Structure 1
């Protein structure tokens, strides 16, 4: 009986761990000059427009601004106008679906890197640096990999699942977001982002 209670207590404690880590590492105040959280209600209309093939209009959703350090030590800022649109891929090394999706993203990066910037964002506070580097090396990723060590960018983007991709136009507006789509649809979406 004592063994059964110990097992149940252990399961209960483990199930509470993700919530504790989320609360313990949550950064509620953005750094100076950084944006506000995504407007989730407006984002739903953007997703509906994107799936119908239309472009956003009056209800544009501004991409939240943030700055993160990359694996090579450089800093990258997202938000505001850019020379090229950007694909942001939120992932973690332990996420099997991320491993599947990143294969197609790598191919699309090779195809569109002159027209679209690609950024991978690792969002797990529990990740060991060697696991991140192993994931990048195994998947032969050559686009910048940013480290969201305190899940600040994940919070700004109201992230609820991995992998998640955001497509942001040159003016700094979110034009689409999705979790795992088939390769043909992903190719179509990024081709549309790249423009003519």
Structure 2
């Protein structure tokens, strides 16, 4: 009888183990999936319109909403209405093209800091925190840096290459997106965003 009791207790404990593991190992990557994934077909039309210097209509492609941990340990949410338009820069420290693009973004952040917000999103599942911090310090990045440790934001934004920049208006709609453009073109795009 005593052996049966011990066996029953062991079975109960083992059956509770998956629940314990599920709730005790929460990710450091907090995601609020209010927004859905981007509609890639609509996004293409916005990119074409932006390339021809047309003005994308609001309501075309809503920027997905998510919340991520920042480099300083707090949390930040992207998506929805804002006081200022937003430049979202997806990057990784091992990405050479990202290093090339950052100086222009840093300069534009200083130039438009009263009109446009900037945020960097590090997309690296296996990147060491020291490498991310070194990239930020080396490139003198002063705007907030978010950590997309499990690529949830990258998946929501249908990200396929680094670096990728999204320009989001004050109503939370994407008005342009691109990969590695000429610094003068980047400056022109951010200048147009500042006037929205």
TM-score of the superposed pair, with normalisation by structure 1 = 0.82
Change in Cα spacing, 1:121 to 1:169, as seen in structure 2 (3 Å) is same
Deviations 1:59-104 (A, max 9, x none): 6100000001100112111111000000000000000000000010
Structure with the greater alpha carbon radius of gyration: 2
Change in Cα spacing, 1:169 to 1:178, as seen in structure 2 (3 Å) is same
Deviations 1:30-78 (A, max 9, x none): 9555210000000000000000111112761000000011001121111
Stretches (4+) displaced over 3 A: 30-33
Number of equivalenced pairs: 168
- Aligned counterpart, 1:192: 192
- Aligned counterpart, 1:146: 146
Distance in 2 between the 1:118 and 1:58 partners? 20
Q: Does 1:93 align with 2:98?
A: no
Assess if the C-alpha contact under 8 Å between 1:87 and 1:165 holds in 2.
yes
What root-mean-square deviation, in Å, do the aligned CA atoms of Structure 1 and Structure 2 show?
1.6
Distance in 2 between the 1:93 and 1:123 partners? 9
SS in 2 for 1:150: coil
Q: Does 1:81 align with 2:84?
A: no
Change in Cα spacing, 1:50 to 1:42, as seen in structure 2 (3 Å) is same
In the TM superposition, 1:104-119 aligns within 5 A as 104-119=104-119
